[in-house]
């Protein structure tokens, strides 16, 4: 038989696109359209509804960048349409290939109640099914003219991301405002042909099934009268019914489709626009749930639920109803889908605390799935946090983006730092915006790595990033794919149902140990330095505010600011979203973040000052001062979490002498530091250990400049080839000894850097204070420290511990980690001696090695041009320090020191810590009053060095009871205590939360 396959497939494509799909709306009439452009920022709904309208014709331009326009459409359903289904078709000027990245709208009835959202793949609003004829139709549309930033030629610098530079020219032209007859039979024919056509394309031409489908399609196309599609659509569906009825093979893979709309809480739009994106999407999804009884929709990010509760209560009422019915499913258990590399220990814990508590209080739901499809890598601390938050499952998709190595599992046990394991799924469909197309479903089957051992996977289904969600077409595909020969079986179901079945089927899944490192988007550890510094400062201020407020509340009757701290934590957690903290959003987002962090700092400083004043007891007139130490380690006689009168240092005085050949030699009896005439550190000699820190013939604190133009994803990526070209910044403009420090000034390009190098009295630490006036573009600035240490691994701090990464590139997995994350320190050591580099605000670093030298470099600044063309321009200040002789415990202590400087407050009476721990290996990360307002003291602590430890926590107040708790402060078991003493045994990196009850003395 001669093959006509290509001809028939080409015929299907043309007939479907040019004749059948247009016949879904066989008749239409234009709607009368009026517009009102809101001045400035969005206005309340009532104001938008009441504003006067100006007539606007289809084809007219509308919508300046970031503007809001209110449309009103009016019309009358023709009498001749009686008995038929009628929809309003409202095209604001959409590009169907870019859902979620352009103009959008929310439709309201005249009474102000929301109907549904409009986006490029969802342009219809049901008017009647059926209509009687003669109905008056009035709809209002709140339309957002968000500019397109990620265009067909992506990553081009644009000023559209800042309203001050975006201009005022309209971005869109009104395309269609019609009332139209909706032909359900033709629409169903479209779905039949799409599903079978897409399945056919994925089957081998050698299989009988492909030819069976081809012949069914051929007969259907023969049955269609192209001049009367509506009249012949039912006849055309008949030959397709048999092909659609053929059941799937018994061994067919099973896909659990979960309705989804991954909505970035900010990215190529500001936070305020996300509020509206969430409202549009949830309005659509609740409407779809009413129409489709088998559909299930899942939504993460408690912050987004909170937004619609506050700003769109009518939509929220629909959400709550659907949640109660069990078909609108809150998932994730976090406040936002945060970055997980950079948030500090407590911040990552609080993501779960505030997220899960919101779902419990609002819906009575204990979320069990941690849902992070799009975050840029996953910390090894997460499994322990997931389980201690009361969750059981973990889902991610982003690892499929890795450039170098294909991750070996799709369903597996993920083991974290402390040995905790969590059952994890990584959908083989390789997208969190699935449409359930034939290509996607076939890819999921072919790609699934657990074949033979497991047979099911999950598919987050719906338009995302900018929102939109699942469409009626996607639900129709799932119905047809429920049991279809040649395809995986597809069914919508709750994520928990999938995980329960997957766990039962594959409980013996393999184990992956350690972080889930994303081999992409590494530059997010450095982009937008001000955002990252705001986060780091906020985290440590929140620690101080809770510590001192709780201490003052127990000791001095201070009013503990529960509401203020709750609000401030949620603000900081929001800004840890995976496109804000990583620095990958538009200029508007980061400018707003900088202002927000300043307000957070001001408010927290006020709380800290008030609490310290209550503890210090005020000024006694003698000028005495107390030193308060918020760090988790004793410092110069001041206990951790307590205060003591100011004492003079006991160390040897620091001397400065000229160095032969230029520069200076600093000496404090513990370290001798040589700074040459270029202002570079050529020697840091550890007098205690009698060994040199800096590699022979090299210089530390060497600023290095690289070109930085990745192949794509400018703010996100740094490609390995950046290292091929480097400029060492060795030219010095000024070099002087001043005010106990060596001052070094350099200029390069259009930028200037000033550094102050200080050797503190009585400390084995060289402090470096760096201020950069940065005006480069597409450059990468690093600070290099070549250490005279031979080691095949480094230790980098992460949440509640540290992890080791290789210094070599033995495997492709090792080589791919050429830029990685650390928090307060990177430490490297040989047996018996090590060195640490600690910092107050940087996250990215790289490490390289030669035979006997390990070079650690801190990543300071970048200058990408997309999506913010002016990223990081201006002045920045970084503080970091080199700590010779540092073991892991020293690195932990010095990391806290540089981030939590002591505070001096007038007063003379010492303040004993509210709680203390006997072993420095155990670090207290939080001391606070219980969130429920009951007055109990909550303490969170962890083992920090990677070893088992037996210790004792002592309460500095009468202790009437103690309990172990989960992260949400719910007791999990009693703690045996003797008076104020609680003995504890911790395994390596174990995290413990205690709830301590106290009595009034």
- What pLDDT, on a 0 to 100 scale, did the predictor assign at position 649? 63
What tens digit of pLDDT does each residue of 32-44 get?
999 999 999 999 9
Judge whether 284 and 120 are in contact, CB under 8 Å. Answer: no
Q: Is the dihedral of CA 349, 354, 359, 364 positive or negative?
A: positive
Nearest-angstrom CA–CA distance, 698 and 682: 6
Judge whether 996 and 961 are in contact, CB under 8 Å. Answer: yes
- What pLDDT, on a 0 to 100 scale, did the predictor assign at position 491? 98
- What pLDDT, on a 0 to 100 scale, did the predictor assign at position 647? 77
* Local confidence band at 319 (pLDDT 50, 70, 90 cut-offs): very high
For residue 329, the SS3 value is strand
* Local confidence band at 621 (pLDDT 50, 70, 90 cut-offs): low
User: Is residue 284 over pLDDT 60?
Assistant: yes
Burial of 57 (0-12, 13-18, 19+ CB in 10 A): exposed
CA contacts within 13 A on the Cβ side of 855: 20
User: Is residue 190 over pLDDT 90?
Assistant: yes
Nearest-angstrom CA–CA distance, 845 and 783: 9
What tens digit of pLDDT does each residue of 411-437 get?
999 999 999 999 999 999 999 999 999
Q: Is the dihedral of CA 427, 432, 438, 443 positive or negative?
A: negative
- What pLDDT, on a 0 to 100 scale, did the predictor assign at position 338? 98
- What pLDDT, on a 0 to 100 scale, did the predictor assign at position 620? 56
The torsion angles phi and psi of 59, rounded to 5 degrees, stand at 100, -15
Task: Report the percent of the chain where pLDDT is more than 70.
Answer: 99
- What pLDDT, on a 0 to 100 scale, did the predictor assign at position 424? 98
What tens digit of pLDDT does each residue of 168-181 get?
999 999 999 999 99
Nearest to 720 by CA among 582, 787, 820: 820
Task: Report the percent of the chain where pLDDT is more than 90.
Answer: 96
User: Is residue 641 over pLDDT 80?
Assistant: yes
Q: What average pLDDT does the structure give for the chain?
A: 96
Catalytic positions, written as ranges: 374
* Local confidence band at 753 (pLDDT 50, 70, 90 cut-offs): very high
* Local confidence band at 459 (pLDDT 50, 70, 90 cut-offs): very high
Nearest-angstrom CA–CA distance, 370 and 395: 6
Tokens of 505: 């089927």
What tens digit of pLDDT does each residue of 902-943 get?
999 999 889 999 999 999 999 999 999 999 999 999 999 999
Average pLDDT over residues 227-255: 97
For the entire predicted model, the pTM comes to 0.97
- What pLDDT, on a 0 to 100 scale, did the predictor assign at position 651? 73
- What pLDDT, on a 0 to 100 scale, did the predictor assign at position 152? 84
User: Is residue 1001 over pLDDT 60?
Assistant: no
- What pLDDT, on a 0 to 100 scale, did the predictor assign at position 857? 98
Average pLDDT over residues 595-613: 98
Q: Which one-letter DSSP state was computed for residue 785? A: E
* Local confidence band at 1000 (pLDDT 50, 70, 90 cut-offs): low
- What pLDDT, on a 0 to 100 scale, did the predictor assign at position 98? 86
What tens digit of pLDDT does each residue of 285-304 get?
999 999 999 999 999 999 99
Q: How far separated are the first and last CA of the chain, in Å rounded? A: 97
Nearest-angstrom CA–CA distance, 571 and 586: 19
Nearest to 761 by CA among 656, 867, 633, 842: 656
* Local confidence band at 1 (pLDDT 50, 70, 90 cut-offs): low
- What pLDDT, on a 0 to 100 scale, did the predictor assign at position 619? 57
What tens digit of pLDDT does each residue of 244-267 get?
999 999 999 999 999 999 999 999
Judge whether 71 and 172 are in contact, CB under 8 Å. Answer: no
């Amino acid at each position: 038989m001669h093959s006509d396959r290509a001809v028939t497939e080409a015929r299907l494509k043309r007939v479907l696109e040019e004749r059948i799909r247009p016949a879904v709306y066989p008749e239409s009439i234009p709607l009368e359209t009026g517009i009102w452009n809101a001045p400035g920022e969005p206005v309340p709904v009532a104001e938008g509804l009441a504003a006067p309208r100006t007539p606007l014709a289809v084809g007219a331009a509308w919508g300046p960048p970031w503007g809001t326009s209110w449309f009103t459409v009016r019309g009358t359903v023709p009498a001749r349409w009686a008995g038929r289904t009628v929809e309003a078709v409202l095209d604001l000027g959409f590009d169907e290939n870019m859902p979620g990245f352009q103009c959008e709208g929310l439709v309201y009835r005249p009474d102000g109640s929301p109907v549904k959202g409009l986006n490029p793949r969802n342009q219809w609003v049901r008017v009647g099914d059926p209509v009687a004829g003669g109905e008056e139709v009035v709809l209002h549309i709140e339309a957002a003219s968000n500019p397109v930033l990620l265009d067909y030629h992506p990553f081009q610098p644009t000023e559209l991301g800042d309203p001050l530079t975006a201009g005022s020219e309209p971005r869109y032209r009104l395309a269609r405002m019609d009332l139209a007859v909706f032909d359900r039979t033709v629409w169903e024919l479209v779905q039949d042909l799409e599903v079978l056509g897409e399945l056919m394309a994925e089957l081998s031409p050698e299989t009988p099934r492909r030819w069976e489908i081809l012949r069914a399609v051929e007969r259907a196309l023969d049955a269609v009268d192209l001049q009367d599609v509506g009249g012949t659509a039912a006849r055309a569906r008949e030959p397709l019914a048999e092909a659609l009825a053929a059941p799937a093979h018994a061994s067919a893979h099973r896909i659990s489709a979960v309705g989804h709309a991954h909505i970035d809480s900010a990215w190529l739009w500001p936070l305020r626009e996300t509020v509206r994106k969430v409202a549009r999407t949830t309005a659509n999804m609740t409407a779809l749930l009413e129409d489709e009884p088998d559909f299930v929709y899942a939504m993460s990010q408690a912050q987004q639920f909170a937004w619609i509760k506050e700003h769109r209560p009518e939509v929220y009422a629909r959400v709550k109803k659907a949640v109660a019915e069990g078909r609108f499913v809150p998932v994730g258990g976090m406040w936002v889908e945060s970055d997980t590399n950079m948030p500090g220990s407590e911040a990552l814990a609080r993501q779960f605390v505030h997220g899960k508590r919101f779902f419990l209080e609002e819906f009575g739901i204990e979320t069990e799935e941690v849902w992070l499809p799009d975050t840029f890598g996953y910390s090894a601390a997460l499994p322990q946090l997931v389980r201690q938050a009361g969750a059981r499952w973990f889902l991610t998709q982003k690892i499929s983006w890795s450039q170098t190595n294909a991750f070996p599992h799709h369903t597996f046990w993920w083991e974290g730092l402390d040995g905790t394991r969590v059952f994890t799924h990584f959908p083989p469909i390789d997208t969190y915006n699935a449409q359930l197309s034939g290509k996607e479903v076939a890819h999921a089957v072919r790609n699934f790595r657990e074949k033979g051992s497991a047979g099911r996977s999950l598919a987050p289904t719906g338009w995302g990033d900018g929102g939109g969600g699942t469409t009626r077409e996607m639900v129709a595909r799932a119905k047809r794919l429920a049991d279809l020969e040649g395809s995986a079986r597809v069914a919508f179901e709750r994520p928990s149902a999938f995980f329960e079945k997957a766990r039962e089927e594959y409980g013996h899944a393999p184990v992956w140990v350690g972080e889930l490192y994303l081999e992409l988007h590494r530059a997010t550890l450095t982009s937008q330095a001000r955002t990252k510094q705001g986060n780091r400062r906020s985290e440590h201020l929140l620690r101080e505010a809770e510590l001192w407020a709780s201490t003052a509340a127990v000791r001095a009757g201070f009013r503990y600011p529960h509401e203020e701290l709750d609000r401030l934590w949620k603000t900081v957690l929001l800004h840890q979203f995976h496109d804000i903290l990583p620095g990958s959003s538009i200029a508007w987002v980061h400018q707003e973040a900088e202002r927000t962090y300043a307000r957070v700092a001001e408010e927290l400083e006020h709380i800290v000052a008030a609490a310290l004043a209550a503890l210090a007891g005020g000024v006694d007139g003698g000028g005495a001062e107390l030193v308060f130490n918020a760090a988790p380690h004793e410092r110069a006689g001041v206990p951790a979490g307590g205060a003591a009168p100011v004492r003079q240092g006991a160390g040897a005085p620091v001397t400065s002498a000229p160095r032969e050949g230029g520069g200076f030699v600093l000496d404090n009896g513990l370290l001798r530091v040589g700074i040459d005439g270029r202002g570079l550190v050529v020697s840091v000699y550890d007098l205690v250990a009698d060994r040199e820190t800096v590699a022979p013939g090299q210089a530390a604190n060497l600023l290095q400049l690289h070109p930085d133009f990745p192949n794509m994803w400018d703010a996100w990526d740094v490609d390995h080839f950046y290292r091929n070209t480097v400029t060492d910044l060795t030219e010095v403009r000024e070099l002087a000894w001043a005010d106990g420090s060596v001052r070094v000034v350099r200029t390069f390009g259009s930028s200037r850097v000033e550094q102050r190098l200080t050797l503190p009295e009585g400390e084995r630490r060289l402090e470096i204070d760096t201020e950069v006036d940065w005006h480069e573009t597409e450059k990468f600035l690093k600070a290099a420290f070549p250490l005279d240490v031979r080691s095949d691994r480094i230790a980098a701090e992460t949440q509640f511990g540290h992890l080791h990464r290789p210094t070599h590139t033995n495997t492709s997995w090792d080589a791919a980690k050429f830029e990685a994350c650390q928090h307060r320190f990177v430490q490297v050591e040989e047996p018996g001696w090590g060195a640490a580099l600690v910092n107050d605000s940087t996250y990215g670093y790289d490490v390289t090695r030669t035979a006997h030298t390990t070079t650690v470099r801190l990543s300071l600044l970048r200058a990408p041009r997309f999506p913010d063309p002016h990223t990081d321009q201006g002045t920045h200040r970084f503080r970091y320090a080199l700590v010779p002789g540092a073991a892991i415990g020293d690195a932990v202590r010095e990391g806290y020191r540089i981030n939590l400087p002591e505070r001096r407050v007038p007063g003379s009476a010492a303040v004993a810590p509210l709680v203390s721990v006997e072993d420095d290996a155990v670090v207290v990360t939080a001391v606070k009053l219980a969130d429920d307002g009951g007055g109990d003291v909550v303490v969170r602590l962890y083992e920090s060095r990677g070893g088992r430890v037996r210790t004792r926590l002592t309460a500095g107040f009468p202790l009437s009871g103690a309990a172990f708790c989960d992260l949400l402060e719910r007791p999990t078991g009693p703690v045996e205590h003797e008076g104020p003493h609680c003995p504890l045994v911790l395994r390596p990196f174990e995290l413990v939360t205690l709830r301590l009850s106290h009595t009034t003395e």
